[in-house]
Amino acid sequence: MLSESKKSGSPPRPPPSEDISRDDVRAQREAKKLAKAARKNKSFKGKLANPPTSTSENEHPVVPYPAQKSLKTGTTSRALEVKPAEANPSSQSVSIGVSADLLKSDSSSPSVIHSLFKPKKGKELAQSNVSKLYPPFYNVGLKVRNNVIRGANSQCVKLLDAIKDYVRCYDVPPGTTFKHGLFADLEGNMENLKTVCSFSISMSNAVQFLLFYLHNMPDDDGKVIDFKNEILDVIDQYIVEKIEKAVEAIVLYGLEKINEGDKIMVYSITEALMSLLVKAAEDGISYELILIQTRETKVELADVLEKLKKPTSDQTVRVSAVNFSSALYKIRSCSKLLMGGHGLFTNGGVMAQSGSGQLALVADTYNKPVVFLCETFKFCDRSPLDFLPLEEYMPEQFQTEDDFLEPKLIYDVTPSNLVTVVITDIDMLPSNGLAATLRVQEGSTPAKL
Amino acid sequence: MANASKESQYIILLQQLEISLKRGRYVRSHELATRTLRLAEKYVQSDSWKNAEEVMQWLENTADRLTKAAVSESAPSNVLKRLIKTVQEDFMTRKNQGRMHTISRLDSDTKVDYSEELPDLRSDILGAILDLSSELENGAESIAEDAEKHINANEVIMTIGRSRTVEAFLKRAAKINKLEVIIVKCGPFYQGKDLAKSLTKSKIKTTLINDTAAFSMMSRVDKIVIGTHTVLANGGLKAIAGCHQILLTAKYFNVPVLVLAASYKLSPEYPFSAEMKITNRFVSPEELIDYKDGDMIDNVQVYAPVFDYVPPELVSLFIFNMYVSTTLN
C-alpha cells in the first residue's frame, strides 16, 4: 500500500484521516458514474472505455489491484479492473457493492427462449407489397389470416380458386411468352401473399405443384386460350384427385378402424377426420367420441357437434368433451386416439395442431394406438425435429407491456416413434414408410421447400 | 363465563370453517391450514377436555367432519392428524419425564393409557401448536432457502400453473443466478399470467405458453419446478390438471422434476383403486364451451376436473420445509 506513493512520485500525502474521507467520496462518485454509464451502454466495452477518464482525474495509479483480485472472485475482479484502485478498505467495500450492482444491471444478454421466437430475418411483414397483389389473393389471404377459412383443405381450395381466376384474367405482357410471364407473375404474387398470411403446408404444396407444372410446359407459342384451359383443367384435376378423392379414400380406409362400441379420443380436427366420423355415424356404427378441447378450439367443437347433430340426438354417437389438461383422465378408457394431420415429413414426423405431440405421448404411455389421417398432397420434403424450423408455426406473436413473451404456437411435430399408423389416400402406412412410398409412386423427387 | 365463551369460540370457528368448505368457497390450502390450526388452538385453550384421549378424539372427529365437508381439500385433516401425533408424543414426554424419551414404535408392547390426567399437558400442546403455526407461516421462505442449491446459472426452468411457493423459490434463486422461466398455463383456471407478471417484476425473463405447447418446448428446458396441492402417502401427487401429461413429457425428454411442498400438504391418503382415482372436484367448463352453444350440448358430457394424479416415479426430488419436526411419519 505504501509502495504506491513511491511509484507514482505523487505529492506528499496529507494526514491519513483526511485522505481517507476524500478518497472515499471520490471513489463513491466514480463508482456511481461508472454504474450509470454501464447501465447506459449495457456492455463491457463501454465499461472498459471509461478507465482513461477516471484515472486521469484520480492521481492514484491502478497498481494494487492484483492483491485485490486474490480477495475477490473472478467476476467481480473484472469490474474492479475498471475502477481506480483504492488503498482503503472502506472504499473497497464500496466498489464491491457497486460491482454487484453492475452485474445485476447487465441484462443485455438475450434470453435463450425469447430469441427462439424472434422473427427470422427478411420474413417480417412488408406493407408495401400489398398493392401489387391481385385483389382476390389479398381477399383469400386476409380470410386465412383471420381464421375465417379454417382447415387446411378449404384454405388450399380457396387459394386454387383464386389462382384459377387469376389465370383466366391473365394478359400476357409484351416481350415474354405466356408461360414465362405467368410463371414470374404468379410467383411474385405468391411471395407477396406470404407477407399477408402465412401459408399452410397444403397451400404451399399446391402452389409449388402448379409452378412446377408451368415450368415444364412446352415452350411453343400456341393459342393463349388453349394454355389457359390446360392450366385450369390441371388445377381442377389437382383439386379433385388430391383433395376430394383423397378424403374419400381416407374415409374408406378409416372405416376399417372404427368398430362398433369403440371409444375414440379425437384432437386436431381436419376435414378428413370430420368426414370419417360423419360417415361412420351414417353407416350406423355406434361409437363414443371424446373430444379434447382447448381454449383455441372452441369453434371447432361447435362445428363437430353441428355435423354430428343427427347421430348424437338419436344416441348412435355419444359425445363427451374434456379439457386438454385432463386428457389423461380419459385416455385409459379409450381404445384409440385419432388425429388429423396438417403435414407429413420425410423423417416420419407428423405436423398437427399444437398439443398432438403431447397427446401422442400420453396415448403411447398407456399403449393406445395413435392414428393420424393425412392426405398425401400434404407431404413435405423436410425433416424437422421440432416445431422451430416450420415457418408456419406461429403467424404472429404477442408481447405484452409487461415484457414477458406469450407466443402462440399453432402447430407442432409429433416424432415418428410415437405414431402408430398414418392413414393416407394411398394406403395405411407407418409414418416412416411414407416418403419412400411416395417417391416410388410418383417417380419423381419433390423439390426442396 | 370466560370458559363458556372460549368454548363457543371454537365451536363458532369450526362451524364457519365447515360452512365455507361446504359452500365451495375454496381458498388456498395454506389459509385452510391456518384456520384449522387456530381452531385447534381455541379448543385446547378451552376447558372442554380433561385428558389426552379426549383431545385426540376431538381432533379425529373434527378431521372427519371437515373432510366430509369438502372431500377434495385435505389440508385441514392433514394438520389435525399431525396434531394428534404431536399430542401423543407430548403425552409420552410428560409421562416419561426424567426418563429417556423414546418415540413410540409400532412394535411397542405397552398399551398406552391416554386418559391419564397430566397437569402441564395443556401448555405443551399449545407450545406445539405455536411451533406448527410458525412453521406454516414460514413455509415458503424455508423452502426457498434451498433455491441456490438446486438452480444453477443460466438455466431454463419450467413451471406449471401458479404456485406461490414456486414463486418465492424462483425469486430467491434469481437473486443469485440469472435464470429464465417458462410458465405453462393450464386449464381450467389458466392462472399462469399472474405469475408471469409477478416474475417479470423481479427481473426474471419469462415466457408464457399454453399447455398444448409444452411438448414442443420441453427439449429446451433444464429443470421443472412445480408446487402441488397434496402429496399422497405413496409419494404420488395430487396436482393441478395437466401436470401428469407434462411430467410424462419431462420423463420422455429426461428433464428432472422438483416438487416443492410445505408440510401441511403431506397427507396420509392413498390413491384408491388400481385406476388411481383421487378425490377430485369438477368445475364449470365455461372455458371450454360457450353457453351460446347450449342447444347442441344437450347430448354432450363435458368434464373439467381440477386435479390430476401424478405417480411417484415421475418426480425426481421433493423439497419440504421441515427442518426440525420429528412428528411426521
Confidence of residue B186 (pLDDT cuts 50, 70, 90): confident
CA distance B240 to B99: 47
How wide is the angle at C-alpha B15 spanned by C-alphas B14 and B16, nearest 5°? 90
Of B196, B211, B249, the CB nearest to A325: B211
List, in sequence order, the alpha helices (H) in A178-223. Answer: 178-196, 201-215
State the angle between helix axes of A152-168 and A178-196 in degrees (0 to 180), rounded to the nearest 10: 140
Q: Any CB–CB contact under 8 A between A180 and chain B?
A: no
Residues linked to residue B282 through DSSP beta bridges, in sequence order: B305
Residue B173 has pLDDT above 70, yes or no: yes
CA distance A114 to A296: 23
Confidence of residue B248 (pLDDT cuts 50, 70, 90): very high
Give the position of cell 425435429: A385
CB–CB contact B308 A302 (8 Å): no
State which residue of chain B sits closest to A315, comparing Cα positions: B299
A190-to-A194, A240, A308, B125 alpha-carbon distances in Å: 6, 22, 37, 79
CB–CB contact B248 A365 (8 Å): yes
Confidence of residue A68 (pLDDT cuts 50, 70, 90): very low
- Summarize pLDDT for A259-287 with one digit per residue, the tens: 888 899 999 888 889 999 989 888 888 88
Cell numbers describing residue B85 = 401425533
Q: Name the nearest CA neighbour of B259 among B245, B243, B248, B271.
A: B243
Cell numbers describing residue A326 = 385432463
Residue B175 has pLDDT above 80, yes or no: yes
**Dihedral over Cα of A307, A312, A318, A319: its sign:** positive
ipTM field: 0.80
Give me the torsion for CA of A35, A38, A39, A40, rounded to 10°. 130
CA distance A396 to B297: 32
In contact, A227 and A217? CB cutoff 8 Å: yes
Q: Which residues of B touch A364 (CB under 8 A)?
A: none
In contact, A22 and A60? CB cutoff 8 Å: no
pLDDT of residue A12: 47
B300-to-A277, A327, B226 alpha-carbon distances in Å: 16, 16, 33
pLDDT of residue B209: 87
Residue A118 has pLDDT above 90, yes or no: no
Q: Which residues of A touch B212 (CB under 8 A)?
A: 294, 296, 324, 353-355, 358, 409, 412
Shortest distance, CA A62 to any CA of chain B (angstroms): 29
Cell numbers describing residue A119 = 422473427
H/E stretch holding A264 reads: strand A263-267
Q: Which of residues 430-449 of A touch B (CB under 8 A)?
A: none
In contact, B288 and A321? CB cutoff 8 Å: yes
Q: What percent of chain B has pLDDT over 70?
A: 81
pLDDT of residue A230: 87
Q: Strand B307-310 and strand B237-240: pairing?
A: antiparallel
Q: Which residues have a Cβ under 8 Å from the Cβ of B131 and sit 6 or more positions away?
A: B325
A403 vs B168, higher pLDDT? B168
Residue A338 has pLDDT above 60, yes or no: yes
In contact, A416 and A431? CB cutoff 8 Å: yes
Residue A291 has pLDDT above 70, yes or no: yes
- Summarize pLDDT for A88-114 with one digit per residue, the tens: 444 444 444 444 443 343 445 667 777
- Summarize pLDDT for A138-183 with one digit per residue, the tens: 888 888 888 787 788 888 999 999 989 888 888 877 777 778 888 8
- Summarize pLDDT for A194-223 with one digit per residue, the tens: 877 878 888 888 998 888 888 888 766 667
pLDDT of residue A75: 39
* Least trusted range by pLDDT, from A279-288, A303-312, A421-430: A303-312
CA distance B73 to B281: 9
Q: Name the nearest CA neighbour of B226 among B189, B181, B275.
A: B181
Confidence of residue A64 (pLDDT cuts 50, 70, 90): very low
pLDDT of residue A370: 93
Confidence of residue A381 (pLDDT cuts 50, 70, 90): confident
In contact, B46 and B3? CB cutoff 8 Å: yes
Residue A86 has pLDDT above 50, yes or no: no
In contact, A91 and A64? CB cutoff 8 Å: no
Confidence of residue A120 (pLDDT cuts 50, 70, 90): low
Q: What percent of chain A has pLDDT over 70?
A: 69
Q: Which of residues 283-302 of A touch B (CB under 8 A)?
A: 293-296, 298, 301-302
CB–CB contact B242 A312 (8 Å): no
B86-to-B47, B52, B62, B131 alpha-carbon distances in Å: 19, 11, 16, 11
Q: Name the nearest CA neighbour of A267 among A330, A310, A309, A317.
A: A330
User: Which amino acid is present at A250?
Assistant: I
Residue B325 has pLDDT above 60, yes or no: no
CA distance A278 to A271: 11
CA distance B227 to B230: 9
- Average pLDDT of A61-68? 41
User: Which amino acid is present at B201?
Assistant: K
pLDDT of residue B226: 92
Q: Which residues have a Cβ under 8 Å from the Cβ of A78 and sit 6 or more positions away?
A: A44
Q: Which residues of B touch A404 (CB under 8 A)?
A: 196-197, 199-200, 205-208
Residues linked to residue A303 through DSSP beta bridges, in sequence order: none
Residue A72 has pLDDT above 60, yes or no: no
φ, ψ of residue A137 to 5 degrees: the values are -65, -45
Kindly report whether the global pTM for this prediction surpasses the value 0.80: no
- Average pLDDT of B49-61? 82
Residue B246 has pLDDT above 50, yes or no: yes
pLDDT of residue B51: 77
Of A113, A309, A387, the CB nearest to B182: A113
Count of A-B CB contacts under 8 Å: 176
In contact, B245 and A325? CB cutoff 8 Å: yes
Average pLDDT, chain A: 73
Confidence of residue B131 (pLDDT cuts 50, 70, 90): confident
- Average pLDDT of B307-328? 73
Average pLDDT, chain B: 80
CA A158 to chain CA centroid, nearest Å: 24
pLDDT of residue A299: 75
* Least trusted range by pLDDT, from A8-17, A27-36, A219-228, A394-403: A8-17
Residue A76 has pLDDT above 50, yes or no: no
- Average pLDDT of B120-137? 84
CA distance B298 to A422: 33
CA distance A212 to A217: 9
A14 prior amide bond cis, ω within 30: no
